[in-house]
Amino acid sequence: MKEITNSQRIAPDKKNVRAMFNNIAKRYDFLNHFLSLGIDKYWRRRVIQILSTFQPKEILDIATGTGDLAIQIAKIKPNKIIGIDIAEEMLTIAKEKIRKRKLNNIIEVFTADSENLPFKNNLFDAVTVAFGVRNFENLKKGLSEIHRVTKNGGKAVILEFSMPTMFPVKQLYQFYFKFILPLLGRLVSKNKFAYTYLPASVSAFPQGEEFANIMQQAGFDTIKHIKLTFGIASIYIGEKLTKNNNFVKL
C-alpha cells in the first residue's frame, strides 16, 4: 500500500476555511441546492440509506455546517446525534433549523475542530462527514481522530465531491466547475474566494483508491467506495476493527 502524506496535497488553511464559511453561511443552503441542481439532497439520502442498514444509535456528524445531514439522520431514530463545525455562523443556522423541527432532544451541535475531537475513544457507532474532509488541514490526522472516536465495529461514512472520468461528463463537469459555478457562486454569495476555492479543493483532493488508502493508514478496514451521479460525488465507508484491509469499488 502506497504511503500518502499530508504534504502531497494542498492543505487548506483552517483559519481561511472558517472565515469563508462564516461569511457565506446565510446563503450556503440556497447555493448548495441551486448550484448542484438539487442533486446534493439525493446524495445525502444515500448516506441515510447506508446508515439505516446498521442502525447506529450514537452518531457524530463532522463539518455539520447548517445541519442538513444531521437533521436527515434523525429520521432513522438514533439515540443521539452530535454535530460539530469550526464555523460558528453555520452552526447558528443549524441550531435554528433543529429548533424549528423540535429535534433538540436528539441533535446537539457545537464548535469543535475535526482534527482535535473533544470526545473519548470508542464513543460513536457511526461518524459521518458530508463535503467536509477536503477542508481538513491535516487529512490523515482528521481521519485518525474519526477512527479513534468510532466504536469497535462502528463505521465512518464520508460523502465528498469527486471528479468524473467518463466522456463527455468529465469535460462538461470541468467546464461547469471551473467557469460557471464560480461565476454564479460569486454573484449570489458576494464572496470572490468561496466558489473558486471549491473547484480547486476538489481537483486537489485524493479520490477513489487513493483516498481509501489514506483511510486505511488512519486505521479503517474494508473500505467501500460508491460513485454517485457519474462520479461527481463519492461515498466512502470505512469499518473499524476488521482484520483484513480490503478496498471494494461498487
What pLDDT does 5 receive? 41
Cα separation of 203 and 220, whole Å? 24
80-85 and 233-239 beta bridge pairing: unpaired
Amino acid 35: pLDDT: 75
Distance between CA atoms of 76 and 49, rounded to whole angstroms? 9
| 120 neighbors 34 (Cβ within 8 angstroms) | no
Give residue 4's pLDDT. 40
Q: Residue 2's pLDDT is what?
A: 38
| pLDDT value for 11 | 67
Q: Which regions of the chain are under pLDDT 50?
A: 1-8, 244-245, 247-250
Cβ within 8 Å of residue 28, ≥6 positions away: 21, 65, 66, 90, 93
Q: Are 173 and 181 in contact (CB under 8 A)?
A: no
Q: Which fold has domain 6-164+204-249?
A: Rossmann fold (3.40.50)
Output the CA torsion 146→149→153→154 (10° steps). -60
* Domain extents in the chain: 6-164+204-249
- Strand runs labelled E in 63-201: 80-85, 107-111, 124-130, 150-161
The pLDDT score that the predictor gives to residue 183 is: 83
Predicted pLDDT of residue 189: 72
